[in-house]
Copies of this chain bind each other. A is one copy, B any other.
Amino acid sequence: MKIQLDKESRIPLYIQIINQIKAMIFSGALPPEYLLPPERKLAEELEVNRSTILNAYRELKAEGLVHSRIGKGTMVVPYESKTEVSIRPPEHRLTWQYLLSDEACRFNDIRIIEMLRVNGDQPIISFATGMADPALYPVDEFYPDITYDIDKKKRALGHTLVEGCVELRKTIMKMQKEKGIDSLLEELLILSGSQQGLNLVARCLLNAGDTVIVQEPTYIGALQIFSNAGVKIISVPVEEKGMRLDIMETLIKKHKPKLIYVIPTFQNPTGTTMDLKSRIKLLNIAYSNQVPIIEDDAYGELRYEGNTFPSLKALDQYDHVLYLNTFSKTLFPGIRIGWMCGPKEIIHQLTVKKQLEDLHTSTFSQVFLTEFLKSGRFQVHIDESCRYYREKRDTMLKKLENSRIKGLRWVRPSGGLYIWCRLPLNISADTLLLKSKEKGVIFVPGSVFFLNNKGNEYIRLNFTYPTVKEIEKGMMILLNVIEEENKKNQEKIINKDSAICNPIY
């Protein structure tokens, strides 16, 4: 109980005390049966006469707000005495679990929630994140530009449009144009992270029972969103040049999917990239079957070697592609800003849904980001990141190459954040994770990116978040654990040719 007295006020001290205790009782800050401090103690604390407190308590009693119990002291009376009605406790406690919607019952996957929790733990070497290197965050460049501009500072705290700040959208339009995507302002929607975009797409296009086509393996967040939507997920295997388009054509004819979700460049988790020919073929399949494509281009900027291919969106002249991107991988994830680019009519629908979901994306994040992008430092940052990430990737690849573990295979990515590995025969990624975690190294087991618990022979290693030193140390530890497991297995089983294993692209 905190009371502040104004001894210079013309309001008598005991009245001030009464008013403040009364307010606390009415607001619930002093709940029923709360024991007020003894008069003497409160008098000392407030540096007033004991009689002042006595007067105040007497008045409160007269108003029926407190009463004295012998041996206990002065207590706040229960609400009923103040209102003539009393709280009648429910016969049964409410069982919230029985109230859940179909959607809530359908989906209860807490793996990403747990992953974000682990990230805080120390000391562990993590190949498990999907994050940029925090040491590269352009912190100083991101903050100061705005600090002296009172108008911008204020604008950053107010509402903006559901579609996103106009200036940010214009800046992104310009950036996209350099990548061959020519769009109008109304074709852009700023998102609270690209996760939101994918979810909005599901809300706007999918009914429970519909079908979607995805690459397999693919981004866990996409699998989650589609599972939550209650749709049938049909998967097309990933291969070196993107995905098995021959299979896709057949599957489309059979399942008549509502959409195709694809990460054409530096795919998560495999790191593979579709070449120009595959991109054109995919578009043609989509065109002839009238199926829209959701293109996720989160990693496209992070290329460490070789030619850039145009995005599907850049190739598409017929409004068939909805393009999704984010600043989480290129810059940092904490501002939660992504965007979507597509035909006006569907962007409008997504905007209507976005307004329901979060009104609009944080103006605060948007204004700072706009300033940063306009400073021209974004490309500098991308170039610098690519330089560092190339070194990190090469460090990890070298460790893999030097290990010479029988049956261990991996994909050499020309960009992105991940190296995708297939473990030697009979090693399970889940078991491996338990053992390597004990030794201080974590990664993501492959099954996370597959449907129906497949893929436990794969692991995904991130090389952008850890330092070069951590990569060296962590890979040594991890490879040793794999080696040990391998030896145990080879003692037990007849060695089989790795050719019968699942593919590694």
- The chain A residues found within 8 Å of chain B, CB to CB, are 22-23, 26-31, 79-80, 82-94, 96-97, 99-104, 107-110, 112-113, 116-117, 119-120, 131, 134, 137, 139, 142-144, 147, 150, 153-163, 178-181, 192-193, 195-196, 199, 203-207, 221, 224-225, 228, 258-259, 276-277, 280-281, 283-284, 287-288, 290, 292, 307-311, 314-315, 317-320, 331-336, 343, 345-346, 349, 351-353, 355-365, 368
Contacts and interface: CB of A to CB of B under 8 A. Distances in A.
Contact of A104 (B142, B154, B205, B314): B205
Contacts of A333: 157-159, 359, 363
A94 B292 contact: yes
A118 to B, nearest CB: 11
A199 to B, nearest CB: 5
Contact of A94 (B116, B221, B320, B365): B320
Contacts of A207: 101-103
B104 A353 contact: yes
B100 A318 contact: no
A307 B321 CA distance: 57
Contacts of A320: 90, 94
12 contacts: A31-B180, A79-B280, A83-B280, A87-B283, A94-B292, A103-B353, A113-B162, A134-B157, A158-B332, A221-B356, A362-B364, A365-B365
Nearest to A159: B333
B334 A86 contact: no
Contact of A224 (B27, B310, B356): B356
B334 A156 contact: yes
Contacts of A225: 356
A132 B314 CA distance: 43
B116 A159 contact: yes
A334 B195 CA distance: 20
A336 B117 CA distance: 23
Given A143-B147, A205-B100, A79 B159 contact: no
Copies in the complex: 2
Given A104-B352, A157-B335, A195-B357, 19 more contacts: A27-B309, A27-B314, A28-B179, A30-B180, A82-B276, A83-B276, A85-B281, A85-B284, A88-B287, A94-B319, A100-B205, A107-B356, A116-B159, A116-B162, A131-B158, A221-B359, A334-B363, A364-B365, A364-B368
Contact of A199 (B79, B156, B356): B356
A150 B157 CA distance: 22
A107 B352 contact: yes
A68 to B, nearest CB: 22
B180 A157 contact: no
Contact of A203 (B90, B103, B112, B134): B103
Nearest to A337: B362
Contact of A276 (B79, B117, B358): B79
Q: Which of A86, A258, A352 is packed against the most chain B CB atoms within 10 Å?
A: A352
A104 to B, nearest CB: 4
A362 B362 contact: yes
B101 A206 contact: yes
Contact of A139 (B101, B134, B157): B157
Nearest to A309: B26
B346 A96 contact: yes
Nearest to A292: B94
Given A119-B159, A311-B28, A90 B290 contact: yes
Contacts of A359: 112, 116, 193, 195-196, 221, 333, 336
A225 B355 CA distance: 10
A361 B335 contact: no
A107 B28 CA distance: 39
A469 B74 CA distance: 50
A158 B180 contact: no
Nearest to A146: B143
B315 A28 contact: yes
Contacts of A147: 143-144, 147
Given A104-B349, A139-B150, A355-B112, A96 B308 contact: no
Given A307-B22, A357-B195, A100 B349 contact: yes
B139 A318 contact: no
A309 to B, nearest CB: 6
A96 B292 CA distance: 8
Contacts of A195: 356-359
B116 A139 contact: no
A258 B100 CA distance: 10
Nearest to A102: B207
A385 to B, nearest CB: 14
A192 to B, nearest CB: 4
Contacts of A334: 155-160, 362-364
